[in-house]
Structure 1
Amino acid sequence: MSYPNLFSPYTHGDLSVPHRIALAPLTRNRAVGTVPGPLNAEYYAQRASAAILVTEGTQPAADGQGYLDTPGLHSDEQQAGWKLVADAVAEAGDGKLVVQLMHCGRVAHSFYTGEQPVAPSAIAAAGEVFTPEGMKPYEEPRELPTDELARIRDAYVDAARRARAAGAYGVELHAANGYLLHQFLASGTNQRTDGYGTDVAGRVRFVVEVVKAVVAEIGERHVGIRVSPGHQFNDMSEADARETYDALYAELAALDLLYVHVLDTSSIVGYDVLEQARKAYPGTLMVNEGFTQEWDVDGADALIADGKADLVAYGRRFLANPDLPARLEAGAELNEPDDSTFYQGGPKGYTDYPTLANA
């Protein structure tokens, strides 16, 4: 069966890709000591047939780490590690490597950072985080003073500069799933009264400032952003998601970004978030169905055909099928992901999934 829309080329500005299938960002906890190494390079190179490879969340500053062995991009050693990855991807295929910049904010933890987490407001998240010493409760974060916001903004800028210097095509700013930029957007985590909170205009302000600063450093066509309107992951709540993202998209519409990446949270917020994004943002739209669900090929092809998306990101299917585009186009059987290996470290369940050629 053919899927002429999903496997059609896409061009927008400088971006030109042979099909519409992207690798979604996937935390894999295998950057030992926060530095990407040969194993990480092998993993991404195996998936270089993706139109765009969005990497795992990568902390732009040391105080942004919330998980074991997640990579950073704030030191020369980490930059060299990402160059190893970028070089391997470039040698293996034509996929565009995009490093996702993820500051965990209030769901960072002092076990990893050695200091109190930072956030828009001093509101702790419910729940616990994994550490090698066992599960630990999330800590109450320190509210970022207004004059410290520039430090956080500049950390994203520096990480973006390092990503490009390492050979990545661009960066994706993670403003979704309860991490720092999402915490600024959400009414449940942002109770600031300094112009960076209070209302919708205030809550989108810092995110827009970060986007514009990163754009000024590496260019708008190399900057993407990920959002998840109304998503409740990491104990998040947004009382006015529709209004918040209308305001955010209105600001982003003035920029011709690499893409806007939307997690389909329609069932959570009660309206069509993909339709909202498509109406409000005129540029490239990447969509992702969710953490545990992914559109089948017919559904993905229909999204492209109906103009609801330009690119479709797959996570678990790409995790278990390094050659996913080829498998989908051929209608071949897919490997099943082994979720017991998602975060355990080492090559098992990471670089040992067979391709069609070596199955």
Structure 2
Amino acid sequence: MSTPSAPAGHPRTFTDRLPSLAEIGPLIALLLACGFFISQSNRFLSFQNLSLILQQTMVVAVIAIGQTLIVLTGGIDLSCGMVMAFGSIIMTKFAVTLGVPPVLAILCGVAASALFGALNGVLITRIKLPAFIVTLGTLNIAFALTQIYSNAESVSNLPDAIMFLGNTFKLGPADVTYGTVLTLLMYGATWFVLRDTVPGRHLYALGNNPEAARLMGLSSQKILLTVYTLAGAIYGIAALLSVSRTGVGDPQAGQTENLDSITAVVLGGTSLFGGRGSISGTLLGALIVGVFRNGLTLIGVSSVYQVLITGMLVILAVAADKLSHRRG
């Protein structure tokens, strides 16, 4: 959320107008990481490498949009990666095996992911189960259904329409994928909704103080069901991006994207307690993860240490959020 305003009757000072550390912290971390890897590798700052970072980040970045919406309400979604994998298998199997027109197959995959999101929402709002337990259960259900329907085999020979977002166009010396453009457009649309619309303000209100939101006449059940269903549909779009980037429907995909998306959200400054955070911070958080993994690969650091460093960053970010929440 924005920096608190000055008390009524007092003019806003220069410090009041400055963004909070939670808002600029992710940007500072991203710039420091880029500066470090620029000093360590002359290949890092090349246009092609920067384009590659965006391509490698876009799937997790899109999943993190849905994760951000859920975390802002005070919830969490552990099923997002496997729901994405299930959606990718649905759209690719429908197109290749059943001969469904590509556009309709894509819509079926997005709809299947949205149904999983709706299931999460119903279990959380109607039966009052904790989001952690519900999404842990649907993670396993989505994984099992993905393996069963695909026979644990990748789906190849995909139609060109499903692969379109993996195509590139020239932007100066760099090759940029259409999927990267779609990712940025989705962030722009989400930023607008959260910042300038009534539903966005309602979502923040629910996450910040559920009881106050109830007294305002807001239906927490309706908001949560909408958020989880929308998040599922967003995971379906991430499935299309994953398929277009890899060229196959992979039943083994999505096994780390849940933690990666939570990492992006937390590093981006969104509070796990709900009600505080921004979608622009999530984009920066996803880029921080992408930059670290790309940079560490360029300087020859083992992937095991990449995971170790990412885990340390998450713990530091959560600890900072906890301390900030206590002070607040």
- Which TM-score band (shorter chain)? under 0.3
- TM-score normalized with structure 1 length: 0.25
Q: Which has the higher helix share?
A: 2
Tell me: higher relative CO, structure 1 or 2? Use CA pairs within 8 A at least 6 residues apart: 2
